[in-house]
Amino acid sequence: MKIKIKMTTHGDDARKYKNVMDFASNLNPYGVSKKTLQAVTNNLNKISQYPDSDCTELRKELAVYNNINPENIIAGNGSAEIIRLFCEVFLNRGDGVLITVPSFSEYGANAKLFGGKIEYVGLNPYDNFKIGVDEILNKVNNNTRIIFLCSPNNPTGKLISKEDVQKIVKENPQTHIFLDEAFIEFSKQNSLAEEVEKYKNLFILRSMTKFFGLAGLRVGYGIGNKNLIKRLSDLKLVWNVNSLAQIAAIESLKDEEYIRDSKDLMGGEKQNLFKKLSVIPGIRIYPSDANFFLINIKDTGLRSHEMKMKLLERGILIRDCSNFRGLNENYVRICVRTREDNEKLINAIKEII
């Protein structure tokens, strides 16, 4: 029996449009580390060699970065591969899956692919999309196999407190808690990576795409207890992370100056953008712990697609959030860019409303 899965989109592909400022992709606006670019340039000859299928050096560097052991890490061809692999290994047909919404659509797409029975838990827009821990706990039953959480959440930008995650983990020891921390570098909260041996049912997803800007090379990784990681590793594709991607990720993790400067610059620009957008009539901007903001534009009289098209006419690309489960045509998302770009966005929004 074939399972039909509806393909989901992840916002707008900036390559479709010429000469636009991309406020849709949630990437570090300062680009890739210069040391990383140099390391890739210096190792172009590696394209004629097979990559290390175990990502040995990369996992060692990730272990140092996260203060854990290499055995607690699996590297993947972007975080999307890790999501699919996790569902393939741990889901049987008919197993229950809980997903908070709005959230990243790949959780549901892959859970369906491997026969999961999905139940969605809506986040409350009147409480800044704060997660309802008790609501999640009340929906868990003996058939619940995986609970997908996202912190900071995409597209809301809202963090889940460590205490709330730990409560969900502790009260559901037989259920896998899949915690997506793809945007954790942009927040002030530390990762729960060091907790994975303490909580055997906790698995953490991380990405080198957003903060480190390696979107085109596809590097993601998962963190879990050693036995869990071994089960995933036994089924992963061979040579799944190419040589240049491994080199780029290693050098990015080593560049402490780049990491520090990116956090400092992004923090300042984020505060400035939030302050200026907050005073525009008709705009409701939600507080965010990530490098982007979810905005309710209902009172502007524009729908999300209309705002997107009007801004495109001015060379600016934003994310129409109407295709996120749990949202509608009243919502758009914009990421934080440089001061100059942010000012252009602010002026353009003022023009169209």
Buried b (16+ CB within 10 A) or exposed e, 264-301: ebbeebbeebeebbeebeebbbbebbbbbbbbbbeebe
User: Mean pLDDT throughout 107-118?
Assistant: 98
What's the confidence (pLDDT) of residue 19? 84
What's the confidence (pLDDT) of residue 8? 55
The answer to whether the beta carbons of residues 245 and 217 sit under 8 Å apart is: yes
| Segment 199-255, tens digit of pLDDT | 999 999 999 999 999 999 999 999 999 999 999 999 999 999 999 999 999 999 999
Report residue 255 as tokens: 């560049």
What's the confidence (pLDDT) of residue 1? 46
Q: How far is CA 202 from CA 72, 148, 165, 169, in A?
A: 12, 11, 9, 7
CA distance 83 to 79: 6
The answer to whether the beta carbons of residues 326 and 102 sit under 8 Å apart is: yes
Instruction: Assess whether pLDDT exceeds 70 at residue 2.
Output: no
Q: What is the DSSP letter of 47?
A: G
What is the value of pTM for the model shown? 0.94
CA distance 236 to 63: 20
Q: How far is CA 348 from the centre of its chain?
A: 27
203 DSSP β-pair partners: 178
Report residue 15 as tokens: 């390559």
The SS3 call for residue 40 is: helix
Q: How far is CA 304 from CA 76, 294, 324, in A?
A: 34, 12, 12
Report residue 336 as tokens: 């934080």
| Segment 310-350, tens digit of pLDDT | 999 999 999 999 999 999 999 999 999 999 999 999 999 99
Instruction: Assess whether pLDDT exceeds 80 at residue 18.
Output: no
Set out the domains of the chain in order of their start, with CATH numbers. 14-31+257-352 (3.90.1150.10), 34-255 (3.40.640.10)
Strands 220-223 and 202-207: antiparallel
Name the residue among 153, 47, 29, 178 with its Cα closest to residue 103: 153
State the average pLDDT for the chain.
Answer: 95
The answer to whether the beta carbons of residues 12 and 317 sit under 8 Å apart is: yes
What's the confidence (pLDDT) of residue 284? 98
**What letter represents residue 46's amino acid?**
K
